[in-house]
Amino acid sequence: MDKFGYIRGRRGPPGPPGKDALQLRIWCPESIVQQFRASATCCFYFNSRTDGILYDSTGKIPKGLKNQVDKEEHNAICLKGLKAPVETGKSYSIPLTTDTCFEISRIGSAIKPKTVFIIAFSFKLIKPIKDDLPYYIFSNTNSSRAVTLRKDWIDIAGCARGSPQLKYLKDGWNIMLIQYSRVTREGSDDRCFFILNGRRGFFEPRVYENDERALYIGHKSKPSANIELNYFEVHTKHFSELSGVGEYLLPETFSTLLLEDMERRMSRFGEKEDDCDCE
Fold of domain 21-65+76-265: Jelly Rolls (2.60.120)
At 72-92, the pLDDT tens digits run 789 999 999 999 999 987 679
Q: What is the mean pLDDT of residues 206-234?
A: 93
pTM here?
0.84
- Residue (of 227, 228, 229, 232) closest to 261 by Cα position: 232
Q: What is the mean pLDDT of residues 40-49?
A: 92
Predicted confidence band of residue 270 (pLDDT cuts 50, 70, 90): very low
Q: Looking at the predicted structure, is the pLDDT value of residue 19 above 50?
A: no
Per-domain boundaries in the chain: 21-65+76-265
Q: What is the mean pLDDT of residues 7-23?
A: 47
